């Protein structure tokens, strides 16, 4: 049975290794991840400002890719509406801080509420559409939202809003890190919970899932709201950090495309794939921009095309299945996908 390549993945082996060895590996992996997070948290005190800036950007993108992973990777619904949640999160913070002089965290809550509520309503309306129809419908909505916000006085119209300046890169960095970790832990939970298995069943065969007792509408809407929650919070941090937002900038469909590319490149439906995807692609883009300026986006495009051809199921799948004869994996991919 052939399915849209993007959402394909191998689930974790059902058992893991049984017994003490499995537990030991798991403990080791957990320790390694905890150390990695600790090292990341310490980065602002060791690295320079350029690195911290880059870190903020990567961590926000990782959160976005992870948010998209929940609805696109796990549930199998390729959302183009996530940039709307991002924009709502950004405007939540901006409106609260600029128009009402409320503290940042209240703005975050406002943005979160707007994003999640909007996802709930949108989800009920459009999550009954499948595949391309869903994609196109959410895309249309993203464009409509830009137009609406451009005409809202409270949102500063199409001029946008200027937020109060906070010169604390460390704070933004740690916030972005915390959010990315939270998003990843949520996805980790999805990968091994009843709820997450329900989402995967929906992705793999929605009608089959319903017949076996999965309340598909409810599961999809909750997944969409969860996806929106992380996306909106990332938008809120972004707005305060960048200090100036306008509708075209934060309701940007290109950002949605980026989320998808990073999640798919890393491995949709995996736990760490989207984070790794965000890191590698951001680093690649950064290096290319420094070296090639003009032709950077061309080369970036080539990198992505090559990646999709040789590893259509993402890095997470590559790492798990490459085996000893490395090149074989790539050739097989090209063959099975008839590229």
Binding mask 144-183 for another protein (x = CB under 8 A): ----------------------------------------
Q: Where are the beta strands (DSSP E) in the chain?
A: 161-162, 244-245
Q: Out of 194, 254, 290, 326, which residue is the one contacting another protein (CB under 8 A)?
A: 194
- Under rule CB under 8 A, residue 188 binds another protein: no
The yes or no reply on residue 193 touching another protein (CB under 8 A) is yes
Strands 161-162 and 244-245: antiparallel
Residues in the chain: 339
- 210 binds another protein, rule: CB under 8 A: yes
Integer Cα distance of 339 and 335 in angstroms:
7
Of these, 117, 157, 204, 284, which contacts another protein (CB under 8 A)?
Answer: 204
Q: Of these, 71, 114, 119, 200, which contacts another protein (CB under 8 A)?
A: 200
Q: Is residue 216 at the binding interface for another protein, with CB under 8 A as the rule?
A: yes
Residue 272 to residue 181: CA distance in whole angstroms:
10
Cβ closest to another protein, residue 89 vs residue 123: 123
If binding is defined by CB under 8 A, does position 207 make contact with another protein?
Answer: yes
Q: Is 326 in the site for another protein (CB under 8 A)?
A: no
Closest to another protein by CB, 107 or 274? 274
Instruction: State the burial class of residue 125 (Cβ atoms within 10 Å of its Cβ: 0-12, 13-18, 19+).
Output: exposed
Q: If binding is defined by CB under 8 A, does position 103 make contact with another protein?
A: no
* Cα 77 from Cα 99, distance rounded (Å): 36
CB-hemisphere CA count at 13 Å for 119? 35
230 close to 60: Cβ distance less than 8 angstroms = no
* Radius of gyration of the chain, Cα coordinates, nearest whole angstrom: 20
Q: Which residues bind to another protein, rule: CB under 8 A?
A: 1, 3, 8-11, 13-15, 192-194, 197-198, 200-201, 204-205, 207-216
């Amino acid at each position: 049975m052939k399915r849209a390549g993007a959402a394909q993945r191998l689930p974790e082996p059902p058992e893991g290794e049984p017994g003490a060895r499995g537990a030991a590996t798991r403990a080791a992996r957990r320790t390694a991840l905890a150390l990695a997070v600790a090292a990341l948290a310490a980065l602002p005190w060791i690295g320079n400002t350029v690195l911290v800036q880059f870190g903020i950007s990567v961590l926000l993108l990782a959160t976005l890719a992870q948010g998209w992973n929940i609805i696109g990777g796990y549930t199998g619904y390729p959302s183009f509406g996530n940039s709307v949640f991002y924009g709502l999160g950004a405007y939540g913070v901006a409106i609260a801080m600029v128009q009402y002089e409320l503290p940042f965290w209240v703005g975050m809550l406002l943005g979160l509420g707007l994003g999640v509520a909007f996802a709930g309503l949108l989800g009920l309306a459009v999550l009954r559409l499948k595949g391309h129809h869903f994609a196109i419908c959410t895309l249309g909505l993203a464009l409509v939202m830009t137009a609406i916000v451009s005409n809202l006085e409270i949102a500063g119209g199409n001029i946008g809003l200027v937020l109060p300046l906070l010169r604390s890169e460390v704070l933004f960095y740690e916030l972005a890190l915390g959010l990315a970790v939270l998003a990843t832990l949520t996805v980790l939970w999805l990968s091994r919970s009843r709820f997450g298995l329900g989402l995967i069943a929906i992705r793999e065969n929605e009608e089959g899932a319903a017949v076996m007792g999965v309340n598909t509408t409810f599961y999809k809407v909750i997944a969409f709201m969860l996806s929106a929650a992380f996306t909106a919070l990332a938008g809120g941090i972004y707005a305060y950090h960048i200090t100036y937002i306008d509708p075209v900038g934060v309701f940007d469909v290109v950002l949605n495309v980026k989320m998808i590319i990073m999640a798919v490149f890393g491995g949709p439906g995996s736990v760490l794939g989207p984070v790794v995807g965000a890191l590698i692609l951001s680093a690649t883009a950064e290096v290319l921009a420094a070296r090639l300026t003009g032709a950077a986006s061309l080369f970036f495009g080539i990198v992505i095309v090559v990646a999709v051809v040789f590893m259509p199921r993402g890095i997470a799948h590559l790492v798990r299945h490459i085996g000893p004869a490395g090149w074989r994996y790539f050739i097989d991919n090209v063959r099975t996908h008839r590229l």
